[in-house]
C-alpha cells in the first residue's frame, strides 16, 4: 500500500515546492521593507479613514520610543486587549520593534480569565481602547493591581470627521472617559505625541527571540501560551502569500476576523502588510457592514470562518452586493460545510479556499490550492516549507497503520517553540521534533488531507476554541453541583456549542434552567452553554475518571436522528 505521506508529496499542487526554505526575517524588518516599497499606499481603511504605510511607520516608531521611556524593553510582555482598530497595528508593530513580546487577549474574556492569562504570562501593561466593556474590564484589572498601567486609545479618533461627530453625539454616554490625573492610565495618542521621534535600535534574532505568546488549548484542553518567534510569524506570512498566485500590492482584504486570533494575525495582518496591501478593518463582524465594505473598497480577499460565510448568505443584501472585485475567500477555524461553500461561491463568484491551522503552527499549516484542484471536505495540502505525517493514535512514536487515520504531526518554519513557562510540555506536545496537533486525519488518494476526528476535548465554536475545563470550573463553584462534564454538541450555525451535564449534591433543589441562568453570565459569549442537563450519574472510566466520550456519542446519535 502507498505510503500516505508520499501521496501529498507526489501530487503537490501549490505553485512553490513543499521543501522550499524561508530566510530568517524579523517582523520590524518585514514592515520596514513594505514602508520603503510603497510609503504612500494605504495600509488601513477604518470606516473610510485611511492611514498610509509611511504614517503607520511614524506612529509605530513613536509608540516604540514611548514604551522605551517607560522602561519597557526586550523580553517584556505587552498585552493587547483590542478589537480591530488602527491602535492594534500601532501597538503590535511598535512593541515588536523594541524586542518586547505581544500577548493577545480576547475582548470576549471575563476579568477572571484575563487575570489568569496576565499572571501566567507575566504581563503588567496592556493596551486597550475606550469601548465601554473593554475599558471597564481593563480598569478592573488596574484597580486589582493585576496590571501596573493601561494605555487607552480613542475609537472615535480614527473615524472620518463626519462619522466622528456623529459617534460622539450619539454615543457620548457610552464612551468611557480616561480618569484625569491617574498616571497609570495613559492616553495612546498623547503618549505618542510626547515621545521621541525615534526608538533606540534593538538587535533581534528572528529565530530565537519571541514575538508572540498566543494562548491556545494545546492538545490537552488547558489554555497554554504558545511561544512564536519573529521567524515563525514572518515565515507563515510568506508561506500563505507563496500559494496565492494573484496577490498584488493593491490587494484589499476585509479585516473582520479578530486580530487577537492567530488566524487573522497571519492571514489578515502580517500576510497583507508583507504584500503591501490594504486592510479594510471592522471592529467586529456584522454581516451588513462586511457586505458594504466589500463593495466600498472593492475588496479582493475575505478570510473568515464558516459561520461568517453563512451569516453573509443569510443577509438580505447578499444579492445586491457587487462582488466583482472579490477573488478568493479563505475559510478556516472549523470545517466548512460543502453546501455553504457551494452557495457562497455561486452568490459571489469568488473561490472559497479551505485551509487548516492552529496556534502552534502560527496560524496556517495546510490549504487547498488556489488554482489547482480545490477539493471540498478536505484541508488541502501542506503549505510550502511544511512537512506533515500521520502517527499512530495510541503510540505517536510509530507511524499510523497503512490506510488508517492517524494523528497529524508537522515540522516547518512556522512550528512553535513550546509553551510559555511549561518546559515539561515538550514530551507531550512534540514527538521526534514534530509538533503534535491532536487532530486525526487521513491522506486520500489525491494527496489531500481530511480531518476525521480529534484527540483533544476542545470545542470549536465558530472558529473560537472553548475549553470544557473552564466551564466545568465555573460549575463546580456552585454548591449544588457534585460532578460536571462539558462537551461540544453539533450546531448548524457555529459548528458546535457547549452543553453541560451535571449531577447534584444530595438535597440540592435546583433545575437545569436555573443553573443555566446562573452559569452563562459568568462566561465569555462564545463559551455560553446551550443547556445544563441534570443526571443521576455521569459516565466514568474503569479507573473512575469522568468520561466525555459516551456523552459525545449520545449527542451525535440524537443529532443524526437515529
363-390 residue pLDDT tens: 999 999 998 899 998 999 999 999 999 9
Backbone φ, ψ for residue 161 (5° rounding): -50, -45
DSSP β-ladder status, 328-331 and 224-229: unpaired
Section 122-140 average pLDDT? 94
Which letter, b or e, does each residue of 136-166 get, where b requires 16 or more Cβ atoms within 10 Å of its Cβ? ebbbbbbeeebbebbbbbbbbbbbeeeebee
β-partners of residue 411 are 387
Q: Which of 449, 378, 385 is nearest to 415 (CA)?
A: 385
pLDDT-based confidence at 543, cuts 50/70/90?
low
Residue recorded with cell 465554536: 461
Alpha-carbon distance 99 to 135, whole Å? 26
**What's the predicted TM-score (pTM) here?**
0.85
Distance CA 366, CA 355 (A): 5
Rounded distance between C-alpha atoms, residue 312 and residue 546, angstroms: 40
Architecture field, domain 28-42+52-203: 3-Layer(aba) Sandwich (3.40)
Q: Is the alpha carbon torsion for 462, 88, 283, 294 positive or negative?
A: negative
| pLDDT at residue 174 tops 80 | no
Residue 181: what pLDDT? 59
Residue 423 has pLDDT above 90, yes or no: no
Element (H, E) at 26: none
Query: What is the per-residue pLDDT for 227?
Result: 97
Q: How confident is the model at residue 492 (pLDDT cuts 50, 70, 90)?
A: confident
> What span, in angstroms and rounded, lies between the C-alpha atoms of 255 and 252?
9
Span 62-91, mean pLDDT? 97
* Res 427 pLDDT > 80: no
Q: What class does CATH assign to 459-560?
A: alpha beta
The angle subtended at Cα 446 by Cα 442 and Cα 449, nearest 5°, is 30
The whole-number pLDDT of residue 362 equals: 97
SS (H, E, C) 108-163: CCCHHHHHHHHHHHCCCEEEEECCHHHHHHHHHHHHCCCCCEEEEECCHHHCCHHH
Cα distances (Å, whole numbers) of residue 204 to 51, 98, 108, 440, 558: 27, 8, 32, 37, 54
- Evaluate if residue 85 carries a pLDDT over 90: yes
Helix (H, G, I), strand (E, B) or coil at 399: strand
Per-residue model confidence (pLDDT) at position 339: 85
User: From CA 424, how far away is CA 418, in angstroms rounded?
Assistant: 9
Q: What is the pLDDT of residues 258-280, one digit of tens each?
A: 999 999 999 999 999 999 999 99
70: left (phi over 0), alpha (psi -120 to 50) or beta: alpha
Average pLDDT for 527-531: 95
Domain boundaries defined on the chain? 28-42+52-203, 459-560
**The pLDDT of residue 219:** 42
Question: Would 28-42+52-203 and 459-560 be classified into the same CATH topology?
Answer: no
All three cell numbers of 395, joined, read 503510540
Radius of gyration of the chain (CA): 23
For cell 496537533, the residue is 437
Closest CA relative to residue 364, chosen from 238, 240, 228: 240
3-state secondary structure of 193: helix
Query: In the predicted model, is pLDDT for residue 170 greater than 80?
Result: no
State whether residue 301 is helix, strand or coil.
strand
Environment class of residue 255 by beta-carbon count within 10 Å: exposed (0-12), middle (13-18) or buried (19+)? buried
Q: Which residue has the cell 520610543?
A: 65
d(CA 257, CA 266): 11
Amino acid at each position: 500500500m502507498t505510503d500516505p505521506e508520499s501521496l501529498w508529496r507526489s501530487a503537490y499542487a501549490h505553485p512553490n515546492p513543499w521543501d522550499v526554505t524561508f530566510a530568517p526575517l524579523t517582523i520590524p524588518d518585514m514592515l520596514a521593507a513594505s514602508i520603503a516599497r510603497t510609503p504612500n499606499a494605504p495600509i488601513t481603511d477604518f470606516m473610510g479613514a485611511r492611514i498610509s504605510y509611511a504614517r503607520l511607520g511614524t506612529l509605530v516608531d513613536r509608540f516604540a520610543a514611548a514604551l522605551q521611556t517607560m522602561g519597557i524593553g526586550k523580553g517584556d510582555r505587552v498585552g493587547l486587549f483590542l478589537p480591530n482598530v488602527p491602535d492594534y497595528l500601532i501597538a503590535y508593530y511598535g512593541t515588536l520593534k523594541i524586542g518586547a513580546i505581544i500577548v493577545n487577549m480576547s475582548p470576549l474574556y471575563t476579568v477572571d480569565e484575563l487575570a489568569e492569562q496576565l499572571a501566567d504570562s507575566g504581563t503588567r501593561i496592556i493596551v486597550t481602547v475606550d469601548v465601554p466593556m473593554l475599558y471597564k474590564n481593563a480598569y478592573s484589572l488596574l484597580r486589582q493591581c493585576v496590571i501596573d498601567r493601561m494605555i487607552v486609545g480613542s475609537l472615535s479618533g480614527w473615524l472620518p470627521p463626519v462619522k466622528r461627530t456623529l459617534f460622539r453625539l450619539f454615543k457620548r454616554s457610552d464612551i468611557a472617559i480616561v480618569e484625569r490625573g491617574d498616571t497609570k492610565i495613559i492616553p495612546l495618542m498623547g503618549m505618542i505625541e510626547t515621545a521621541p521621534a525615534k526608538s533606540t535600535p534593538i538587535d533581534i534574532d528572528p529565530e530565537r527571540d519571541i514575538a508572540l505568546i498566543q494562548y491556545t488549548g494545546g492538545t490537552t484542553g488547558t489554555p497554554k501560551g504558545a511561544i512564536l518567534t519573529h521567524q515563525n510569524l514572518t515565515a507563515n506570512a510568506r508561506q500563505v502569500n507563496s500559494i496565492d498566485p494573484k496577490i498584488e500590492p493593491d490587494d484589499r482584504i476585509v479585516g473582520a476576523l479578530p486580530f487577537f486570533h492567530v488566524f487573522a494575525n497571519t492571514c489578515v495582518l502580517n500576510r497583507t502588510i508583507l504584500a503591501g496591501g490594504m486592510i479594510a478593518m471592522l471592529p467586529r463582524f456584522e454581516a451588513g457592514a462586511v457586505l458594504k465594505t466589500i463593495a466600498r473598497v472593492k475588496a479582493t480577499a475575505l478570510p473568515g470562518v464558516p459561520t461568517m460565510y453563512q451569516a453573509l448568505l443569510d443577509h438580505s443584501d447578499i444579492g445586491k452586493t457587487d462582488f466583482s472585485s472579490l477573488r478568493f475567500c479563505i475559510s478556516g477555524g472549523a470545517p466548512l460545510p460543502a453546501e455553504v461553500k457551494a452557495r457562497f461561491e455561486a452568490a459571489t463568484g469568488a473561490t472559497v479556499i479551505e485551509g487548516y491551522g492552529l496556534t502552534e503552527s502560527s496560524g496556517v499549516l495546510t490549504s487547498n490550492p488556489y488554482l489547482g484542484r480545490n477539493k471540498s471536505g478536505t484541508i488541502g495540502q501542506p503549505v510550502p516549507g511544511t512537512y506533515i505525517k500521520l502517527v499512530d493514535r495510541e503510540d505517536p512514536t510509530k507511524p499510523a497503520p497503512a490506510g488508517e487515520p492517524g494523528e497529524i504531526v508537522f515540522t516547518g518554519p512556522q512550528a512553535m517553540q513550546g509553551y510559555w513557562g511549561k518546559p515539561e510540555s515538550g514530551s507531550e506536545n512534540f514527538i521526534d521534533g514534530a509538533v503534535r496537533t491532536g487532530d486525526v486525519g487521513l491522506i486520500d488518494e489525491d494527496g489531500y488531507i481530511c480531518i476525521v476526528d480529534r484527540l483533544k476535548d476542545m470545542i470549536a465554536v465558530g472558529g473560537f476554541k472553548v475549553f470544557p475545563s473552564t466551564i466545568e470550573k465555573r460549575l463546580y463553584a456552585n454548591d449544588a453541583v457534585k460532578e460536571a462534564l462539558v462537551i461540544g454538541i453539533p450546531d448548524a450555525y457555529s459548528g458546535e456549542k457547549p452543553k453541560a451535564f451535571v449531577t447534584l449534591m444530595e438535597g440540592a433543589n435546583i433545575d437545569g434552567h436555573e443553573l443555566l441562568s446562573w452559569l452563562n453570565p459568568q462566561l465569555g459569549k462564545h463559551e455560553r452553554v446551550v443547556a445544563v442537563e441534570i443526571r443521576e450519574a455521569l459516565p466514568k472510566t474503569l479507573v473512575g475518571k469522568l468520561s466525555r466520550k459516551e456523552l459525545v456519542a449520545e449527542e451525535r446519535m440524537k443529532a443524526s436522528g437515529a
